Amino acid sequence: MKSKLLGRIFIMALFILPLITYEGCKKQAKCGCGKDIIYNLTDLQVMVQYDTSSKSVVFYPVYSTGSTYYFCNPSQWMDSLKKLNTTEYLLLTGKAYYDCNYMMQAANYSYLPPVYQVDVTGLREDNYGK
């Protein structure tokens, strides 16, 4: 009799436990500039590469694990970049967003290095130690 009661309690627990631990559906972050901010960057030490003909700017954090970041607003920063020494580290401030192309491709592949879009609000030379 006791073993039947324990068996029923165990079976009920199998059905009730998932209901208790279910947290609901989580909203997937919207991708692209001006959507859901993933995180803020403050004086992140970066290496910047830009192309004046295509008006694109890409940067890589110095201590990165392979992430790639693109400027949301490259034309706003092109003149400043031409004046800065881009062969040296720069300090960048801005808001990071998921890149939409990356999000679509990441759903189909097991691992891709992250790609982000950044609304850059500040960019300056890193004069530490100079």
pTM: 0.73
pLDDT digits (tens, 9 = 90+) for 19-73: 566 566 666 678 889 888 999 999 999 999 998 888 899 999 998 778 899 999 9
**H or E stretch covering 100:** helix 100-106
Return the closest-CA partner of residue 122 out of 81, 62, 64, 87.
81
CATH architecture of the domain 28-125 equals Beta Barrel (2.40)
Q: How confident is the model at residue 108 (pLDDT cuts 50, 70, 90)?
A: confident
Q: What is the pLDDT of residues 77-106, one digit of tens each?
A: 999 988 988 889 999 999 999 998 888 887
Q: What whole-number distance in Å separates Cα of residue 43 and Cα of residue 90?
A: 8
- Average pLDDT along the chain: 83
Supply the pLDDT for residue 24: 62
Domain coordinates in residue numbering, the chain: 28-125
Distance CA 104, CA 106 (A): 6
